[in-house]
Amino acid sequence: MKSVLCSRFFILLPWILIVIIMLDVDPRRPAPPITSRPYFSPHTLGCGGSRVPLRRSSPVRDNLEKRNESRVQSQPQPPLPTIYAITPTYSRPVQKAELTRLANTFRQVAQLHWILVEDRATRSDLVSSFLERAGLPNTHLHVPTPRRYKRPWLPRATEQRNAGLAWLRQRHQHQRAQPGVLFFADDDNTYSLELFQEMRTTRKVSVWPVGLVGGRLYERPLVENGKVVGWYTGWREDRPFAIDMAGFAVSLQVILSNPKAVFKRRGSQPGMQESDFLKQITTVEELEPKANNCTKVLVWHTRTEKVNLANEPKYHLDTVNIEV
């Protein structure tokens, strides 16, 4: 009797083991992501990219994960489109602070090339040495705004954005365009990292909401069935593209295939520059809505308060000359 029981046990043992293993491997469980590789730069992942174990480890699971990892890693990755950010900037007490905030954001974005265009006749020492230490791929340009255009009621940064466009076109004139996306990044706005993840997939021209602009909490393109059909704005709804400079991105290919598209001084008013530019390269029907069909604010049109320098000394200046 004892030997019969014993032999039954040994016959059943392998089956029991097989059932245990089968229960442990759940084929419906999706393959685990390799890393959270979103919009952060590879440096960020490289330095602190530790993966927190979320569940008890088992040898079978570990093997399965290793196989999935090698499968995903062996797939060729398409090149990440370069984001070209054109930033006009001008000398004022808060300039270095603005550029510092901007660089701190850009440094966290993979494959970003910063085109900084100074509103000056020459490059300033402040911006030159700032860029040297910024740790970002960059191009430092300069062009002064003619004095007659330095009026509060006239558009700003027209010449500087055009200089950035000219540089881009010249740089890519001979080679087949690498995938790229252009974005006009004013130096005083606030940009979330998610914004860059959204704009990176721009095929022609993409759009999204902008916070704290136009006398409202936000402005946004109105979207129906995945298409832009109008604009939620409190100012000049008659604009063909009622959108702020921070609310769109353009593919490099579109910039290169429309070589005459520029910002114009003649007849242009503040707030109309975006529309006048976009009219030259696209149509409303073509626009690609981003940020969850334009329902998320990922960029804010913040404006820095003018600093109070009432107590700056005229005489008895500080004994050292400090760059601010």
In the complex, which residues of this chain contact ligand UGA (CB under 6 A)?
87-90, 119, 145, 155-157, 160, 186-188, 244-245, 270, 273, 301, 303
Q: Is 90 annotated as a binding residue?
A: yes
Q: Is 188 in the site for Mn ion (CB under 5 A)?
A: yes
Give the one entry of Mn ion, ligand UGA, none that residue 160 binds, where binding means its C-beta sits below a cut-off of 5 to 8 angstroms depending on kind.
ligand UGA
> Considering beta carbons, is residue 188 or 194 the nearer one to Mn ion?
188
Q: Is 125 annotated as a binding residue?
A: no
274 annotated active-site? yes
Q: Is 61 annotated as a binding residue?
A: no
> Considering beta carbons, is residue 186 or 274 the nearer one to Mn ion?
186
Q: Is 65 in the site for Mn ion (CB under 5 A)?
A: no
Burial of 59 (0-12, 13-18, 19+ CB in 10 A): exposed
Helix (H) or strand (E) holding 65: helix 59-74
Cβ neighbours of residue 81 closer than 8 Å, sequence gap 6 or more:
111, 178, 179, 180, 181, 200, 202, 251, 252
Residue of 159, 219, 274, 288 with catalytic role = 274
Give the one entry of ligand UGA, Mn ion, none that residue 187 binds, where binding means its C-beta sits below a cut-off of 5 to 8 angstroms depending on kind.
ligand UGA
Instruction: Output the CA angle 259-220-210, nearest 5 degrees.
Output: 75
Q: Map residue 304 onto helix, strand or coil.
A: coil
Residue 31: name the closest of 77, 80, 71 by CA.
71
Q: Is 190 in the site for Mn ion (CB under 5 A)?
A: no
Taking the complex as a whole, the smallest distance from the CB of residue 275 to ligand UGA amounts, in Å, to: 12
3-state helix/strand/coil string of 88-148: EECCCCCHHHHHHHHHHHHCCECCEEEEEEECCCCCCHHHHHHHHCCCCCEEEEECCCCHH
Q: Is 97 in the site for Mn ion (CB under 5 A)?
A: no
Q: Map residue 235 onto helix, strand or coil.
A: coil
Q: Is 120 annotated as a binding residue?
A: no
Give the one entry of ligand UGA, Mn ion, none that residue 164 binds, where binding means its C-beta sits below a cut-off of 5 to 8 angstroms depending on kind.
none
Q: Is 119 annotated as a binding residue?
A: yes
Positions that interact with Mn ion (CB under 5 A): 186, 188
Please report, in range form, the residues annotated as the binding site for Mn(2+): 188
Catalytic site positions: 274
